[in-house]
Chain A
Amino acid sequence: MTDRWGIHLPRVLEASDGWADWDPPKGGDVGLLLRDTSLTALTTHARSGQAVAVDIDSIDGLSDDGAACEFLVRKLGFRIVLAHHQATAAHIAELGALALLRVFAVDSTGLRRSLEGPPRGEGVGSAVSPGLVLPHLGADELALLPRPILAYGLIDRPTDIAACLRCADAIVLSQQALAGARTSGALAELARLAP
Chain B
Amino acid sequence: MLYTPPDPATFLSRLAMYPCCPATTTGEQFQRALASRSEVVLILRANGLELAPFISQAHELGKLVAVHLDLVSGLRGDRASVQWLSESGADAVVSSRGHLMATIRHERMTAIQRLLLARLTQLSTGLAAIRRSAPDVVEVLPGVVLPEVRHLLPDLGLPLLAGGFVRTIDDVRALLECGALAVTSSKEELWSLPYD
A contacts, CB < 8 Å to B: 36, 104-110, 129-130, 132-133, 136-138, 152-154, 156-157, 160, 174
Q: How far is the CB of A138 from chain B (nearest CB, A)?
A: 8
Chain A proximity mask over B123-151: 1 for CB below 8 Å, otherwise 0? 00000000000000000011111001100
Contact B164 A108 (CB under 8 A): yes
Contact A107 B164 (CB under 8 A): yes
A106-B141 CB under 8 A given contacts A133-B165, A137-B165, A160-B148 = yes
List B contacts of A104 (CB < 8 A). Answer: 116, 118
Contact A109 B44 (CB under 8 A): yes
Number of B residues, CB within 8 Å of A: 23
Q: How far is the CA of A132 from the CA of B119 in the complex (A)?
A: 10
Picked from B116, B121, B142, the residue with its CB within 8 Å of the CB of A136 is B142
List B contacts of A174 (CB < 8 A). Answer: 120-121
What 9 A-B pairs have minimum CB-CB distances, sorted nearest first?
A107-B164, A106-B141, A153-B119, A129-B118, A106-B142, A136-B144, A133-B142, A106-B164, A132-B145
A109-B148 CB under 8 A given contacts A129-B119, A130-B142, A137-B165 = no
Q: Tell whether B52 is near chain A: CB-to-CB under 8 Å.
A: no
Q: How far is the CA of A51 from the CA of B126 in the complex (A)?
A: 31
Chain A proximity mask over B15-50: 1 for CB below 8 Å, otherwise 0? 000000001010000000000000000001100000
Offer 9 A-B interface pairs, CB within 8 angstroms, sorted by A.
Answer: A105-B142, A107-B141, A109-B23, A109-B45, A109-B186, A110-B164, A137-B165, A153-B119, A154-B148
Q: How far is the CA of A105 from the CA of B164 in the complex (A)?
A: 8
B contacts, CB < 8 Å to A: 23, 25, 44-45, 71, 116-121, 141-145, 148-149, 163-165, 167, 186
Q: How far is the CB of A134 from chain B (nearest CB, A)?
A: 10
Contact B144 A133 (CB under 8 A): yes
A133-B145 CB under 8 A given contacts A107-B165, A109-B186 = yes
Q: How far is the CA of A129 from the CA of B148 in the complex (A)?
A: 15
List B contacts of A109 (CB < 8 A). Answer: 23, 25, 44-45, 71, 186
A154-B165 CB under 8 A given contacts A109-B186, A132-B145, A136-B142 = no
Contact B149 A132 (CB under 8 A): yes
Q: How far is the CB of A64 from chain B (nearest CB, A)?
A: 18
Chain A residue nearest to B122 (CB atoms) is A153
List A contacts of B117 (CB < 8 A). Answer: 106, 130, 153-154
Contact A107 B142 (CB under 8 A): yes
Contact B149 A154 (CB under 8 A): yes
Q: How far is the CA of A20 from the CA of B144 in the complex (A)?
A: 35
A153-B164 CB under 8 A given contacts A109-B71, A130-B145 = no
Q: How far is the CA of A154 from the CA of B117 in the complex (A)?
A: 8
Q: How far is the CA of A93 from the CA of B143 in the complex (A)?
A: 33
Picked from A105, A136, A137, A156, the residue with its CB within 8 Å of the CB of B120 is A156
Chain A residue nearest to B123 (CB atoms) is A154
Contact A36 B121 (CB under 8 A): yes
List A contacts of B149 (CB < 8 A). Answer: 132, 154
List A contacts of B141 (CB < 8 A). Answer: 106-107
Chain A residue nearest to B163 (CB atoms) is A107
Contact A154 B120 (CB under 8 A): yes
Contact B148 A132 (CB under 8 A): yes
Chain B residue nearest to A177 (CB atoms) is B120
